Structures are given as C-alpha cells and as structure tokens.
Amino acid sequence: MKKVTAIKTVAMTIAALSLGVASSVYSQQPASEMSFFITSVGSGKGADLGGLAGADQHCQNLAAAAGAGKKTWRAYLSTTGSPSENARDRIGKGPWYSHGGRLIARNVDELHTVNNINRLVAKSEKGQTVKGRGDQPNTHDILTGSMPDGRASTAKEDTTCGNYTKSGAGAVLLGHHDRAGLRDDEPSRSWNSSHPSRGCSQPELVATGGAGLFYCFAVN
C-alpha cells in the first residue's frame, strides 16, 4: 500500500512540475509572437471607433506599442448594410495565440465552435488579465457586432452602432470574454454574441459591464 501511495505521489509531483514548466514557457513567450489580444483600452468615445478603419488602426497601434507591430492586425467586428462585412472573414486563417503563447484557435471554424477564449487565456496586448464578472470594474462586454457564427446580423435594428461611428443612440452586439453572465445559458457564455448594448456612448457601455474594448487578430 505504501509503495502504491509513493508511486502516486511521484506521479502527482511530475505532473505539477510539468504544468509549472508549461506555465513558465508560456510566460516567456515574447509579445511579438502573439496573434490575438483584447484591447487594453477602447477609443474613449464608446462604440465610435472611427469605423472599421479606425478600429483596425487601434489594433495596429496597440500591437506596435507592445512589440508586435510587424504583423497586420484586424479588429474582430462585423458591419451591416450594403455591403456588409463579417468579422470571421477579416481576421485571417489562424492559428492564433494569446500574449504568453496560449492557443486561442487553430482556424476560423474552431474559433466559432470550440476555442480557448476565456478570462485566464484571453489577455490584453500587454499580457494583462481583462476584468470580468465579479471584478471591479467589470469590463467583460466586448464589442463585436456579430452573431455567434461570426457573421453580421440581419436584424433591422442597429447592431453595430452605425458601423462603429456612433457614440450616442443605437446599439452594438457584445460578447463575454469571461464566458459568464446573469444566466447560465448559451448567450451568457458566448464570447462574441451575448447581448446588445444599452447605447453607443461610453457611459452606456460601462453600465452593462464594458469599456469599449474589442478583439484584435493578426492576419499573418
């Protein structure tokens, strides 16, 4: 019995050491290797990001400041109207890795089925944990303007705050990066399509648990 216990103890020790080594490897990955992050700050004007071009530039600027500016970055945002643009079609083919080297998804299909976006893995470009439900302040509402499959909504009402040019009336679809909400259901656990915002201004985004943050992906 003592022999079996000793073997189990050794096995558990080896497993713990392995996890420690893995964590060390992840933490040592340079920021230049990341290909996914959540913006550490928004535009400061609510959902008015200056359109897709302004959002993409914001991603590029934050990535450059973090040491990953050699990649081409795109915001994970869908637009409506004619023509519309789907978030899933503008972010490259993958795979994508977070700050620290953790795999987010291998490809677009995996990203929209079983991905690794959660509070512990989906970091900012600085490698910081983005605050979620239970934190103060809660900033888990991430701008996407997208349906769960990564495509633009076909609803008649505004779902993109005027394609990210409005900071007043309107609404934008939001996801929960921490996979948590008021209920234990699929929308609450959705990283990219949980609920619409109350409006497009910064205070209205903050009121529902956001800060005007959004996802950035490297296309190369």
Give bridge partners of residue 124 from the DSSP assignment. Answer: 38
Cβ contacts of 119-123, under 8 Å, gap ≥ 24: 119/177, 119/178, 119/179, 119/180, 122/36, 122/37, 122/38, 122/98, 122/177, 122/191, 122/215, 123/37, 123/38, 123/98, 123/99
Q: Strands, DSSP E only, in 35-89?
A: 36-38, 73-75
Both ends of the chain: CA-CA distance in Å? 55
Tokens at residue 28, please?
């040592």
- Which of these, 88, 90, 57, 42, lies nearest to 202 by C-alpha position? 42
- The pTM for the full model equals 0.87
pLDDT tens string, the chain, 220 residues long: the values are 444 444 343 343 333 333 333 333 444 578 889 999 999 999 999 999 999 999 999 999 999 999 999 999 999 999 999 999 999 999 999 999 999 999 999 999 999 999 999 999 999 999 999 999 999 999 999 999 999 999 999 999 999 999 999 999 999 999 999 999 988 899 999 999 999 999 999 999 999 999 999 999 999 9
All structural domains of the chain: 31-218 (3.10.100.10)
